[in-house]
């Protein structure tokens, strides 16, 4: 036997081993793909807590013949890593759906990997409109597998612009973004609407993720005397930016998006955070009657842990994915599940949960477009009326 | 605005300069780039935070807190620097020049992940310690933190200069840097001088870390990477191995970054490019750096 044929034999027997082994596992798996380490791990770990809670609850109910297992993957908020993770996920045939990713920059490329295998993807936090819009492009040759339970940046950016313009009559703004699909996307939507309203955008600058010194930029912005400063980006840079702005005596109103609504931002910015306005998608869980039970369960399971802004989104996404698996994915008597039926099921879904009512439009985005604006007061995010 | 940007740049540059000294001292003597130096800086910040959270320190008046944190951070970073030299570089003293370099990169990755896994993977807030106030200078203002950063940096750099130029140990260091074998023959314990270079470099890194933490208000496991690269660039720009050059390079890069981000439209996006572009330009004209000496290849 020569080496080549031996290699073929070995690989064949290995493949046979894989095939004969995997269907006998008595579990259904859900994959959770979020950043669990790295700069924004706080958000990812929170989402994992939300998803864990959902899976635990469903397992207690015993709705499935098998155990549901949540397998967490760490995309480190890195688009390259996200694609690696996506390939790992699609190679596991027992995974019925993906909850993730969190960053728009990660979700957009990873979605294409899932679409090739008709694997249902529900993102609990990616806000860039392009994620679902890419499914309408002619280059998209696959099924529309992407669903999103949160509102998008175009809605959020427009809301922020209207809020500043109509509520406070502010007419000039300086914009800073972090050059990521999320941060820049949000900043551009904000800019568009602010200009449509007749306001003036004095400056539009990018910064690098991981940079710490924004003093030169702030000094320049200060000379333009903006009435407001808008930031599109994540809490690390957001916290440093507002802190340095206040240190340098730039006292304009500060407004930013959902990725700053976390205690990490308050810790980093300290007293400089006071008076900041932060928008977030959806309605705060405290204000949704159906979310009360979730909040209580969360507190019981994780005493002393702060709830992060996307925990209830990942809880909801997990619940919806499991519902799709239960109602459409499983065929009685068969050990496999039908991925295409799950996607079909999602299109017609109307679900009442912790986010209120969730229905998806033709792109896969939720029709629930609520945005809430919070003001930081005495180290807390207080929802504002608008 | 020009003066304001100059002040911003000077504060930023002082921190770069302090770190650049650590690179240049080691390079001057061993002709190796200590890539783990950025991690000594990062650890220094965590040491300083640790010192500040000690119960007997946090009760003291601000000035005493600052002084104690500075001394403790400098001491702990100095020991870390010397320890790294002993463990990772000394056994490779007679290996090829590439070996300690790779060892340094290994130490850097190791230390970063150590903090990532066992301390925290999140940004940690760093206390400001001193009260914040501003001094108006015409149209510009300088904050108490900026004054502190610049003053402490220049004080330490002054000490270092005095030490190297005026003391016998400093003389021994210069001799070792000039010709290690000849220094050894004339009775200088060169191995100890090498340790001393790491101790001093580490101490300056620790001081820079404390100042950096107070200035920006947060520290993180990967904070050393970008700052380390900039400081290394500063050392090369000034002429690596040359102490005055490192200070000059650090200040230049800090000021260039501030002016670039402040004056060029959209400049903050390209901030990191300015320092490296200047580095390339200077090296094209003067490969030995601004103040470096042209030396023939040592045999």
- Is the predicted pLDDT of residue A69 greater than 80, yes or no? yes
Measure in Å the smallest separation between the Cα of B199 and chain A Cα atoms: 27
pLDDT confidence of residue B137 = 84
Interface test with A, best of B216, B263, B272 (most A CBs within 10 A): B216
Could you report the per-residue pLDDT of B96-138, keeping only the tens digit for each? Answer: 989 999 999 999 999 999 998 899 878 899 998 888 888 888 8
Predicted complex ipTM: 0.86
Nearest CA in chain B to A244: B216
> Hey, are the CB atoms on B1 and A215 less than 8 Å from each other?
no
User: What pLDDT band is residue A56 in, cutting at 50, 70 and 90?
Assistant: very high
Stretch A51-63: mean pLDDT, rounded? 93
Could you report the per-residue pLDDT of A12-32, keeping only the tens digit for each? Answer: 555 544 444 444 557 889 999
Residues of A in contact with B268 (CB under 8 A): 176, 205-207, 214, 216-217
pLDDT confidence of residue A2 = 56
Q: Count Cβ–Cβ pairs < 8 Å, chain A vs chain B.
A: 97
Could you report the per-residue pLDDT of A247-284, keeping only the tens digit for each? Answer: 888 999 999 999 899 888 999 999 999 999 999 888 87
Stretch B258-272: mean pLDDT, rounded? 83
- Is the predicted pLDDT of residue A333 greater than 80, yes or no? no
**Which residues are within 8 A (CB) of A226 and not within 5 positions of it... i.e. 6 or more apart?**
A172, A173, A174, A202, A203, A252
- The partner residue sitting opposite A206, judged by closest CB among B218, B263, B268, is B268
Measure in Å the smallest separation between the Cα of A68 and chain B Cα atoms: 29
Stretch B235-259: mean pLDDT, rounded? 93
Between A6 and A18, name the one with better pLDDT. Answer: A6
> Hey, are the CB atoms on A216 and B218 less than 8 Å from each other?
no
pLDDT confidence of residue A10 = 54
Interface test with A, best of B142, B268, B269, B272 (most A CBs within 10 A): B268
Could you report the per-residue pLDDT of A124-146, keeping only the tens digit for each? Answer: 999 999 999 999 999 999 999 99
> What does pTM read for this prediction?
0.84
Do residues B141 and B6 make contact, with C-beta atoms less than 8 angstroms apart?
Answer: no
- Is the predicted pLDDT of residue A222 greater than 50, yes or no? yes
* Residue ranges of domains in chain A, CATH in brackets: 3-151+289-359 (3.40.50.2300), 153-281 (3.40.50.2300)
Residues of B in contact with A215 (CB under 8 A): 8, 11-12, 258
Nearest CA in chain B to A202: B265
> Hey, are the CB atoms on A205 and B266 less than 8 Å from each other?
yes
Mean pLDDT of chain A: 89
Measure in Å the smallest separation between the Cα of B284 and chain A Cα atoms: 28
Instruction: Scan residues 228-267 of B and list those with Cβ closer than 8 Å to A.
Output: 257-263, 266-267
Could you report the per-residue pLDDT of A30-50, keeping only the tens digit for each? Answer: 999 999 987 788 889 999 999
> Hey, are the CB atoms on B218 and A219 less than 8 Å from each other?
no
Hey, is the C-beta of B4 within 8 angstroms of any chain A C-beta? yes
Measure in Å the smallest separation between the Cα of A246 and chain B Cα atoms: 11
Nearest CA in chain A to B225: A210
Hey, is the C-beta of B273 within 8 angstroms of any chain A C-beta? no
* B2-285 CATH fold: ABC transporter involved in vitamin B12 uptake, BtuC (1.10.3470)
Stretch A235-243: mean pLDDT, rounded? 94
Domains of chain B by residue range: 2-285
- Is the predicted pLDDT of residue B298 greater than 80, yes or no? no
Could you report the per-residue pLDDT of B148-194, keeping only the tens digit for each? Answer: 999 999 999 999 999 999 999 999 999 999 999 999 999 999 999 99
pLDDT confidence of residue A291 = 87
pLDDT confidence of residue A360 = 95
Stretch B38-67: mean pLDDT, rounded? 92
pLDDT confidence of residue B187 = 94
Stretch B243-258: mean pLDDT, rounded? 94
Stretch A42-63: mean pLDDT, rounded? 93
pLDDT confidence of residue A19 = 46
pLDDT confidence of residue B88 = 95
């Amino acid at each position: 036997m020569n080496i080549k044929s031996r290699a073929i034999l070995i690989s064949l027997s290995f493949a046979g081993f894989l095939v004969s082994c995997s269907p006998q596992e008595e579990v259904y798996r859900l994959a959770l793909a979020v950043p669990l380490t790295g700069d924004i791990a706080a958000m990812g770990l929170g989402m994992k807590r939300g998803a864990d809670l959902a899976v635990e609850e469903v397992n207690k109910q015993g709705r499935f013949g098998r155990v549901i297992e949540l397998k967490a993957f760490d995309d480190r908020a890195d688009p390259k890593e996200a694609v690696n993770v996506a390939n790992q996920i699609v190679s596991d045939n027992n995974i019925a759906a993906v909850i993730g990713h969190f960053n728009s920059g990660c979700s957009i490329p990873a979605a294409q990997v899932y679409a090739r295998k008709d694997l249902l993807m529900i993102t609990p936090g990616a806000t860039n409109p392009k994620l679902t819009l890419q499914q309408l492009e002619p280059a998209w040759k696959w099924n529309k597998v992407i669903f999103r339970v949160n509102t998008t940046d175009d809605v959020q950016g427009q809301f922020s612009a209207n809020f500043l313009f109509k509520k406070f009559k502010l007419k000039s703004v300086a914009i800073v973004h972090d050059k990521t699909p999320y941060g820049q996307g949000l900043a551009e939507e904000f800019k568009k609407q602010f200009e449509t309203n007749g306001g003036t955008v004095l400056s539009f600058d990018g910064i690098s993720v991981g940079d710490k010194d924004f003093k030169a930029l702030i000094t320049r912005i200060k000379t333009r005397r903006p009435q407001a400063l808008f930031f599109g980006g994540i809490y690390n840079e957001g916290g440093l930016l507002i802190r340095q702005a206040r240190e340098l005596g730039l006292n304009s109103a500060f407004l930013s998006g959902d990725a700053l609504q976390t205690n990490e931002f308050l810790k980093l910015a300290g007293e400089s955070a006071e008076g900041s306005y932060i928008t977030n998608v959806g309605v705060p869980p405290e204000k949704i009657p159906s979310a009360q039970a979730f909040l209580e369960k969360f507190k019981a399971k994780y005493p002393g842990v702060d709830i992060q802004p996307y925990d209830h989104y990942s809880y909801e996404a997990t619940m919806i994915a499991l519902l799709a698996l239960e109602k459409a994915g499983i065929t009685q008597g068969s050990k496999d599940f039908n991925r295409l039926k799950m996607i079909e099921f999602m299109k017609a879904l109307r679900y009442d949960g912790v986010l209120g009512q969730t229905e998806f439009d033709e792109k896969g985005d939720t029709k629930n477009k609520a945005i809430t604006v919070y003001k930081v007061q005495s180290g807390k995010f207080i929802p504002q009326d608008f | 605005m020009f003066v304001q940007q100059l002040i911003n740049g000077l504060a930023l540059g002082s921190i770069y300069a302090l770190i650049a000294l650590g690179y240049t001292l080691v390079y001057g003597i061993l002709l190796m780039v200590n890539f783990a130096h950025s991690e000594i800086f990062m650890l220094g910040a965590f040491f300083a935070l640790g010192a500040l959270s000690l119960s007997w320190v946090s009760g003291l008046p601000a000035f005493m807190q600052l002084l104690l944190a500075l001394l403790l951070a400098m001491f702990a970073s100095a020991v870390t620097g010397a320890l790294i030299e002993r463990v990772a570089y000394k056994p490779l003293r007679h290996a090829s020049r590439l070996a300690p370099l790779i060892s340094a990169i290994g130490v850097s990755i190791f230390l970063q992940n150590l903090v990532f896994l066992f301390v925290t993977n999140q940004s940690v807030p760093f206390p400001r310690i001193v009260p914040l106030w501003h001094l108006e200078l015409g149209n510009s203002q300088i904050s108490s933190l900026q004054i502190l950063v610049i003053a402490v940096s220049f004080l330490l750099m002054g000490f270092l200069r005095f030490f190297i130029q005026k003391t016998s140990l400093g003389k021994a260091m210069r001799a070792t840097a000039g010709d290690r074998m000849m220094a050894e023959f004339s009775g200088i314990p060169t191995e100890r001088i090498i340790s001393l270079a790491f101790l001093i470099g580490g101490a300056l890194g620790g001081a820079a870390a404390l100042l950096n933490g107070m200035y920006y208000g947060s520290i993180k496991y990967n904070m050393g990477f970008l700052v380390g690269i900039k400081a290394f660039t500063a050392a090369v720009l000034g002429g690596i191995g040359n102490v005055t050059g490192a200070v000059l390079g650090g200040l230049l890069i800090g000021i260039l970054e501030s002016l670039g981000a402040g004056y060029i439209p959209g400049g903050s996006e390209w901030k990191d490019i300015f320092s490296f572009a200047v580095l390339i330009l200077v090296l094209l004209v003067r490969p030995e750096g601004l103040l470096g000496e042209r030396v023939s290849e040592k045999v």
